[in-house]
Amino acid sequence: MRKHLICGTLFDGLDETAKTDRTVVIDDDRIAYVGPSAEAPDQRPGEAVIDHSGDFVMPGLIDIHVHLSYGDAQANEDIDIFSPPEYRALRALRAAQTVMKAGYTSIADPASTGRTTVGVRDAINAGMFDGPRITTSGRQITARQGLADWYPTWIGVPESSVGVLVRNTDEAIEEIRMQVKDRVDFVKIALDGLHRKDSDGELMACFNQREMDAMVEESHRLGRKVITHARGREAVLTSARAGVDVIFHAFEMDEEGLDAMLESGSVLSPALTFVANTAEFTRPTDPCFKWRPGQNRRVIDDAREMLVKAREQGVPFMVGTDSGFAITPYGEWHAKELELMVDDLGFTPGEALKATTSVNSELLREQDDVGRLVEGAYADITVVDGNPLDDIAILQKREAIRAVYRGGEPVDLAPEPRASGYQWEYSYRQWNDIYTRERVAELH
């Protein structure tokens, strides 16, 4: 049965401006018509008419950086060690549903515990559960001293980690082939390593160019895109030269890295939300208070100039938040990234909305079928009370999300109560200070 959505304002995801007096006709789970209301197909008897004539209608939002298996983690140990993978899968399903209730009908998960997100994706696609459309990697591939190899060498990278350690190119190729066999949608490589031991102290890449070239070539041969975690100058340059599809963060990119990106056609996705939230919300009682907020404030200040330049020179941007940490809990901050892109990077609201819909969709399994309101696409739609082109921050207001449709079906927006943490989810840390006699005397 068809549904007729009468739209006050319509943003189709492809154009950076909106149009008024439009109608969307949904047939089953796809869009059958989108265009002027005056030219819309007639309503047949019994067909539903949904009045959004006072609202802003846009494609379902997309966040390409949601770590579904992290569980709003408070520590790296929460991500990798505490709670068994089976529990994490169930928790990830709940997380995915929470994100959808915020207006996000599609997400990508770059770095997950084993096959956790693959399982959640397939269960939702099989119609067992409600949830957003999911595109996912497996564990992120790392080398010695890279991101995810964050425990002491004698502990290593455990099987339950969101990362997987490879010791040479052969192991990397084997891992990629196994992940592809296990049906990941793309490959994620954690490329930042340690800081260099010199005055600059810049981040070194944990894989060299030859290794990256080989991994990207094999992933592409097997039809999978590659995303890198690359904050450092060297990681950005190495990624771009290897032809990586999407580069995350790029906070320390230099001119050479930008030129390489322009040449390779790599897409950039900064994920400023994680950094901004860390700078804004971390409190003195948090173990990372001494270093992290100040460092992250500097990260944004230092990165801004080159990120603005990248946008001006035509590097495409995708939009993601690094959700799944205690500082970026599921369902809460996804649209903040758009506000940061507008305020800090010079995007117009229309550009930012296009980036988070049709540009983001290029990474997804469904590609051209989502992120746009055009005939034939899935009827994934987010309806806003207010105009985000005038005020992009409105998308962060839960009460402004009037309706969400996933494949033409309305999503229940009533928030689930936030589940209380399971005991296994917490690390062992019990004191933030060392209470010597001297320290106790100081404190009292």
Q: Give the residues lining the site for Zn ion (CB under 5 A).
A: 322
**Minimum separation from the CB atom of position 325 to Zn ion (A):** 9
Give the sheet arrangement for strand 163-165, strand by strand. 163-165, 140-142, 186-190, 225-230, 246-249, 267-269
**Minimum separation from the CB atom of position 188 to Zn ion (A):** 9
Taking the least distance from each CB to Zn ion, the nearer of 108 and 379 is 108
Taking the least distance from each CB to Zn ion, the nearer of 192 and 322 is 322
**Minimum separation from the CB atom of position 66 to Zn ion (A):** 9
Taking the least distance from each CB to Zn ion, the nearer of 322 and 380 is 322
Taking the least distance from each CB to Zn ion, the nearer of 9 and 116 is 116
- The two beta strands, 2-10 and 19-27, are antiparallel
**Minimum separation from the CB atom of position 189 to Zn ion (A):** 12
**Minimum separation from the CB atom of position 67 to Zn ion (A):** 6
**Minimum separation from the CB atom of position 111 to Zn ion (A):** 6
CA angle 54, 59, 61 (to 5 degrees): 110
**Nearest residue to Zn ion, by Cβ distance, number only:** 322
Place of tokens 């230099």: 254
**Minimum separation from the CB atom of position 79 to Zn ion (A):** 10
**Minimum separation from the CB atom of position 83 to Zn ion (A):** 19
Taking the least distance from each CB to Zn ion, the nearer of 245 and 322 is 322
Taking the least distance from each CB to Zn ion, the nearer of 72 and 322 is 322
**Minimum separation from the CB atom of position 117 to Zn ion (A):** 13
* Crossing angle of the two packed helices 209-221 and 233-242, in degrees rounded to 10: 40
Distances in Å between the Cα of 282 and the Cα atoms of 288, 291, 297, 349, 443 are 8, 10, 12, 28, 22
Coil vs helix vs strand at 399? helix
Indicate left, alpha or beta for 418 from its phi (over 0: left) and psi (-120 to 50: alpha).
Answer: beta
Taking the least distance from each CB to Zn ion, the nearer of 6 and 299 is 299
**Short-list 292, 309, 300, 297, CA closest to 271:** 300
How far does the chain reach from its first CA to its final CA, in angstroms? Answer: 72
Count of alpha carbons within 13 angstroms of residue 137, beta-carbon side: 30
DSSP result, 366-421? SGGGSSS--TTSB--EEEESS-TTT-GGGGG-GGGEEEEEETTEEP--SPPPPPPP
Q: What's the rounded Cα separation, in Å, for the pair 230 and 237?
A: 9
Q: What's the rounded Cα separation, in Å, for the pair 391 and 206?
A: 41
Taking the least distance from each CB to Zn ion, the nearer of 219 and 228 is 228
Backbone angles phi, psi at 210, to 5 degrees: -60, -45
Taking the least distance from each CB to Zn ion, the nearer of 24 and 247 is 247
DSSP state of 202: P
Structure tokens at 95: 């997380």
DSSP state of 103: T
